[in-house]
Amino acid sequence: MHLLNADLHCHSNISDGTLTPEALAARAQAHGVELWSLTDHDEIGGQQRARDAALALGLDYVTGTEISVSFAGQTVHIVGLGFDADDAALRQGLAATRSGRRERAQQMAEGLAQAGIRGAFEGALRYVGNPELISRTHFARFLVETGVCADTHSVFRRYLTEGHPGYVPHAWARLGDAVRWIVEAGGVAVVAHPGRYRFSPTEEYALFTEFIAHGGRAVEVMTGSHSAAEHIRYAEAALEFGLLASRGSDFHSPGESRTELGALPDLPGRLTPVWEALAPRIQRAAA
Ligand code: AMP
Ligand code: MN
Ligand code: MN
Ligand code: MN
């Protein structure tokens, strides 16, 4: 049986990826993706370009974003799929979620300056494609370019995570608000890469139950952020909580991302793919 090659999570230079929406569409198609979504952080400014490029290449498209949420003292990411990109409340919610990023970046640069790294704000800005979306990833690229660290992962470990000089705690959207913006815009909300969080079992249970209570319906099972053991663990969680299952590479950049577009294993057959619920929201390319 042929399973659909769906890749429902990746980033363009409108958030913290390095490729344009058009280049990503071409790369997705070249790697065999059949249903694609661009899910920039807190931003849907690339949706029209991604959709137009995908449909012109014969690639089916569904709208996407990845919303930053604060939950139980950690940052959690909620992917939204298949929403109406013109929905006013969703657009306002995303704008509000983006709004603190510039000031946070200035504070991050101050922390780095105290650790002896000067000019990080201006340096990070050189990598930014969207002035409303300065991310830690842009700082990481600057610190690799200037030779402070060998790769972006070590920048996060040494400078950009809790307890390190460039880390600034930030209040993102509330879980219930993010889910509501997506659902009320006609979309499906998805818990992104649950294996990345450092929750206790009780906190993780609370995340899933509250997410579902707010109207969330899906979880990423196959993601570039999960190990093989986590693929199994969250397949079990999808069944236990009655959630639809999603699949997405979380591709950011050819040099940095460990998982290529369209290259993940298929979802285990006993799960219900999120694209079954998305069917009416998929924009189909002409055959
Ligand atoms: P921000 O939204 O500014 O907090 O940045 C979060 C982004 O940083 C994530 O979406 C990832 O792209 C990236 N990121 C987080 N942790 C790591 C890590 N350990 N190594 C590389 N990139 C990371
Ligand atoms: Mn990212
Ligand atoms: Mn994420
Ligand atoms: Mn992502």
Assign residue 255 the CATH number of its domain.
Answer: 3.20.20.140
Q: Which helix (H) or strand (E) holds 100?
A: none
Q: Whose CA is nearest to atom 21 of ligand 1?
A: 153
Crossing angle, helix 101-114 and helix 136-145, to 10 degrees?
40
d(CA 10, CA 284): 19
pLDDT of residue 1: 56
213 domain-assigned: yes
- Evaluate whether 26 touches 57 at the Cβ level (below 8 Å): yes
287 domain-assigned: no
Q: Whose CA is nearest to atom 14 of ligand 1?
A: 137
182 domain-assigned: yes
Residues 241 and 276 in one domain: yes
Ligand 1 pocket, residue 68 CB under 6 Å: yes
Ligand 1 pocket, residue 137 CB under 6 Å: yes
Q: Whose CA is nearest to atom 16 of ligand 1?
A: 156
Residue 167: CA count within 13 A, CB half-sphere: 12
Ligand 1 pocket, residue 214 CB under 6 Å: no
286 domain-assigned: no
Ligand 4 geometric centre to CA of 81 (Å): 13
Residues 185 and 247 in one domain: yes
Q: Would residue 215 be called left, alpha or beta, if left means φ above 0 and alpha means ψ between -120 and 50 degrees?
A: left
Residues 125 and 138 in one domain: yes
Instruction: Lay out the sheet containing 6-7: strands in order across.
Output: 6-7, 35-36, 60-61
pLDDT of residue 128: 98
d(CA 108, CA 172): 16
Query: Per-residue confidence of the chain (287 residues) as pLDDT tens digits?
Result: 568 999 999 999 999 999 999 999 999 999 999 999 999 999 999 999 999 999 999 999 999 999 999 999 999 999 999 999 999 999 999 999 999 999 999 999 999 999 999 999 999 999 999 999 999 999 999 999 999 999 999 999 999 999 999 999 999 999 999 999 999 999 999 999 999 999 999 999 999 999 999 999 999 999 999 999 999 999 999 999 999 999 999 999 998 989 999 999 999 989 999 999 999 999 999 87
Residues 201 and 238 in one domain: yes
Give Cα separations from 184 to 174, 175, 219 (angstroms).
15, 14, 18
Residues 177 and 247 in one domain: yes
263 domain-assigned: yes
165 domain-assigned: no
Assign residue 112 the CATH number of its domain.
Answer: 1.10.150.650
Residues 107 and 148 in one domain: yes
Residues 149 and 189 in one domain: no
Ligand 1 geometric centre to CA of 95 (Å): 20
Domain extent, residue 118, equals 101-160
Tally of domains in the chain: 2
Q: Which residue has the tokens 């659902």?
A: 183
Residues 223 and 136 in one domain: no
List CB contacts of 87: < 8 A, sequence separation 6 or more.
Answer: 181, 184, 185, 186
